[in-house]
Amino acid sequence: MNSFLSNFPLTRPRRLRKAEWIRKLVQENKVSLDDLILPIFLTYDTKSSLVNEMPNIYRYSVNDAVDIANKAYEVGIKAIALFPEVPHEKKDALGTEALNEENIICRTVREIKKNVNGIGVICDVALDPYTLSGHDGILSDNNIIDNDKTVDVLCKQALINANAGCDIIAPSDMMDGRVIKIREKLDNAKYIDTLIMSYAAKYASSFYDPFRKAISAASNLGTYKKKSYQMDYSNSNEALKEVALDIKEGTDIILIKPGLPFLDILSNVKTTFKIPTFSFQVSGEYAMIIMGINNGIFNKQEIIMETLSCFKRAGADAILTYFALDAAEIIKNG
Ligand code: PBG
């Protein structure tokens, strides 16, 4: 590598950057419509409502969600991921509403599948929207999340989502051993082609705070929050272990999360395992960027395309981003 440096003035890297046409010709990575997944919040209300912490983002009623799914499909987005805000009176200690075939997720999946042909539908598997604690799992008497009891419920949740027509089951709960149990449950019910995208390396992160507020699951987590199951952001090797386990358990796709501050993890995982690897530009990343845009600090198109390109450079095959519709428009307009 150092031999490049000694060649000056023969070697002038700036030649390759001198104009747009040559920059484009030597571009190594590019974000395309084939890379985009749109996360969508859902509400039980018949009217959609704005999420305070995430300007321009709504919790959609079933009908509006179908319209947005249709719009996403028409602009070329390949999949949507659904996240429900559950009313307080439907929450309990066990997250029972997660297993209700008439819950907002199942109803929306059925409607989208009936009305929008050709877009992939992803359902989160985790109990946080449905438990009073806001935790992804069930608390035992001594106040810890009971791994195995939770996994039993997650399997049932995965099955009812598959029954509703979900294409990709996305366990975001970080319980141990859930991927293999979900795979077995799906296969036993003959859903052999339903995909699993496991949130394999998911870090305990402040960047999820706006999401937790958006789905009203933020206030009862306790001081240790989700640290007994989500990973320590100081760790890197541990991500490889988590990913290796999920691959062994049969996941089809790996998800790394959060996004931008964890691109080193994404890159490391993609280089090591070489399997489909997605990442999530999460709610806190969206909030920071959109607030910068709205305050005139960033140019909207430039900041969106730069951040998404960085995901691609780091090795992401696809990206969940609340900017998916904006990005699709920017890409279409060239
Ligand atoms: C819930 C879940 C979270 C996100 C996706 N699924 C939050 C959490 O784990 O607390 C975060 C998404 C975002 O911040 O945009 N299991």
Distance 323 CA to ligand 1 centre (A): 16
One DSSP character per residue, 56-79 reads T-EEEPHHHHHHHHHHHHHHT--E
Given the CA of residue 320, which atom of ligand 1 is nearest to it? 15
Report whether 98 contacts 153 (CB < 8 A): yes
Distance 212 CA to ligand 1 centre (A): 7
Report whether 174 contacts 199 (CB < 8 A): yes
Read off the pLDDT band of 257 (50, 70, 90).
very high
Residue 92 DSSP one-character state: B
Residue 295 domain-assigned (yes or no): yes
Q: In which element (H, E) is residue 266 found? A: helix 263-273
Q: Is the pLDDT of residue 5 over 70?
A: no
* Strand duo 79-85 + 120-125: pairing: parallel
Domains identified in the chain, total number: 1
Which structure tokens are listed for 306? 């730069």
Q: What is the pLDDT of residues 121-159, one digit of tens each?
A: 999 999 999 999 999 999 998 889 999 999 999 999 999
Return the bridge partners of 254, or none.
Answer: 198, 277
Read off the pLDDT band of 7 (50, 70, 90).
confident
Q: What is the pLDDT of residues 265-295, one digit of tens each?
A: 999 999 999 999 999 999 999 999 999 999 9
% of residues, the chain, pLDDT over 70: 98
Q: Is the pLDDT of residue 1 over 80?
A: no
Which structure tokens are listed for 258? 């959060």
Residue 134 domain-assigned (yes or no): yes
Amino acid at 168: I
Given the CA of residue 209, which atom of ligand 1 is nearest to it? 14
**Mutate which of 38, 40, 83 for ligand 1 pocket (most atoms within 8 A of beta carbon):** 83
Question: At 131, is the secondary structure helix, strand, or coil?
Answer: strand
Contacts of 204 (CB under 8 A, 6+ apart): 225, 226, 227, 230, 231, 232, 233
Give residue 191's domain range: 31-332
The pLDDT, as a whole number, for residue 3 is 60
Residue 17 domain-assigned (yes or no): no
Closest CA to 332 of 67, 122, 71: 71
Question: Which residue's CA is the closest to the ligand 1 atom numbered 8?
Answer: 208
The pLDDT, as a whole number, for residue 47 is 98
Question: Which residue's CA is the closest to the ligand 1 atom numbered 2?
Answer: 172
Read off the pLDDT band of 302 (50, 70, 90).
very high
Q: What is the pLDDT of residues 87-131, one digit of tens each?
A: 999 999 999 999 999 999 999 999 999 999 999 999 999 999 999
Residue 23 domain-assigned (yes or no): no
Read off the pLDDT band of 41 (50, 70, 90).
very high
Residue 12 domain-assigned (yes or no): no
Distance CA 96, CA 28 (A): 48
Catalytic sites, residue numbers: 202, 257
Q: Is the pLDDT of residue 4 over 60?
A: no
Read off the pLDDT band of 185 (50, 70, 90).
very high
* Strand duo 49-50 + 58-60: pairing: antiparallel
Q: Is the pLDDT of residue 207 over 70?
A: yes
Which structure tokens are listed for 63? 């009908």
How many Cβ atoms from other residues are within 10 Å of residue 191's Cβ? 18
- For residue 144, give the CATH number of its domain: 3.20.20.70
Mean pLDDT of all residues in 296-316 = 98
Residue 225 domain-assigned (yes or no): yes
Asked whether the bond before 13 is cis by omega within 30 degrees of 0, the reply is no
Read off the pLDDT band of 11 (50, 70, 90).
confident
Residue 273 domain-assigned (yes or no): yes
Angle at 174 between CA 93 and CA 228, to 5 degrees: 70
One DSSP character per residue, 208-247 reads GHHHHHHTT--TTS-TTTTTTTSBPTT-SHHHHHHHHHHH
Q: Is the pLDDT of residue 6 over 90?
A: no
Question: Which residue's CA is the closest to the ligand 1 atom numbered 3?
Answer: 208
Distance CA 106, CA 99 (A): 10
Distance CA 158, CA 124 (A): 9
Q: Is the pLDDT of residue 240 over 60?
A: yes
- Cα separations (Å) of 322 from 36, 263, 308? 10, 18, 11
Q: In which element (H, E) is residue 319 found? A: strand 318-321
Look over the chain and give the mean of its residue pLDDT values, rounded to a whole number.
97
